[in-house]
Structure 1
Amino acid sequence: MKRNQVIAIILVLIFLYDAVDYGVMLYHTLTEKLEPGTTRYFPWQNYIYPSTLLIELLGIAQFILSKYQKSALLRLIILYQLFSYFIYQILLVNKGLFIKVHFDFVSLFYDLAACFKIYVLILLQNRLKPKLIENTDGHTYFDQVGKWNRVLHRLIDTAMLALLIGLYLDSFDDLIRSFIRSENYFASLLGSLLNYQEGVYFPFYFLSTLYYLLSEGIFNTSVGKIIMGNMIVDDEAQKPSVGQRIGRTFSRLIPFDAISFFWPRGWHDRLTDTYVVKAAKKD
């Protein structure tokens, strides 16, 4: 059996497990007996999960029906799921890495599923090739994206971060308070840093840095770039080194970097000698 077929089968099995697990949870929620005079509470966050399941199903179907050539939708939902999983581990399970984790079958399953999806996303991202254009003298060059394309990248990625912060806002606040009260000096210092200060919500910047470290540092992409059909390359149209990709993340911390791409190249591009270009159309 070919590797793509094995990947597709495992992805389907993971999807079926997630769908059944959500269906069981929903059934118990809707059939739970309420005390007289009380109203059934269904958090708005619970509407997000079935939407992600639908996108995951469509992504797997696109991947299989295209004979494993098209993966944009699948890569999009896997990246979202992995970052959401990472936040969940930090905020809800590990409680900031200062409390011992309790393992069970369900948590082990999701840990293994996350590891498999990391492998799949890296594999699919490595298949991407930049779109090359040949000029009149026979030389080829890559198709660097324009500034408004970069604006859309930023808006899409910011919207996804805002969604995830909204999903886990209460847990994030609880974690910060537990850090501040901790007797561990590092935890207390981290809590003070992430706390509200002068109207600036530090968790957004904290999660934004983690998001780009994960998405670009490991997978060389982001949600915005996947949606817009773009990718990151070095000056030789190859995959940038790990140092270049991580450097892009920390360069974003420079004030006003977010609007620097209104000039010919953004600062986090110029400082790391990278380019955002169009990916080949086949994907």
Structure 2
Amino acid sequence: MNARLLPYLLILPVTLFLCVFFLYPFVLVSKLAFTDGAGFTLDNFRDVVTYWKFPISLQNTMLLALAVVPVQLALALLMATMVNRMKTGRDMVLYIWTIPLGISDLAAGIIWLAIFEQSGFLNSMMHGLGIIDRPVNFLSYQNPVIVFVAIALAEIWRATAIMLVILVAGIGLIPKEYYEAAEVFGASPWQRFLRVTLPLLRPSLQTALILRVVLAFEVFAVVAALGGTLFPVLMGEIYAYQFDLQDSGAAAALALIVLGISIAFTLVILRALRVPKGATI
């Protein structure tokens, strides 16, 4: 076998997978979004962006991402640093912290629904402490802030482990000699974190943030379980267009809008956390 052909043969399965399960569906979705019975059209995009729910769902999605992702990043950095400094029990602690990764989005939403609903844990605890006399309906249109907080907490609990796993692996690749040299020169733990860990963790931070931001724009099941129609988001509107309104063209158009937003934020993250040329660990 020609040695020059070997790399292409090795990536052939992945290329075929991407073509069948990404490029081909993407072409079909684009065709639905940009065409109707008469041919090329932008009516689907016009209908989507002029619908009264679009700015509300866009705002809710953006606010949720803005509230959740920074908190998750801070928690993941703290937890990853703690795990990498542990001498014993490291694997057990990491396993416990990553348990939410094995729970589906909908199941996570139902777990937190059991906390915030009228017969849930929060009402029972507050009643037991004498704070309330009767159950409170936290997840109602009268308490939009609590609905938002409940969704944000569920997302933070469910998806922080995604970033944690990536950052733990990234910190583990940083040579210990860098920390030892910084300690010799009198750097405090905080200074070592700022001057050694963060700069050398940029590639892992890029990956973790891109993955988490993209998933934040795709949030749906947790919102459906806790907020329902009280907290519309972009993915929920795609579902409504496709299955409730039976409008595949509008659903495809909104899906492409979400894809465009995700790509834009990905480029921003890559630009903000770009690794200087020639930089190595």
TM-score, normalised with respect to structure 2: 0.27
Structure whose residues are more often strand by fraction? 1
Structure whose residues are more often helix by fraction? 2
TM-score, normalised with respect to structure 1: 0.27
Structure ID, larger Rg: 2
Instruction: Specify which structure has the bigger relative contact order, considering alpha-carbon pairs within 8 angstroms and separated by 6 or more residues.
Output: 2
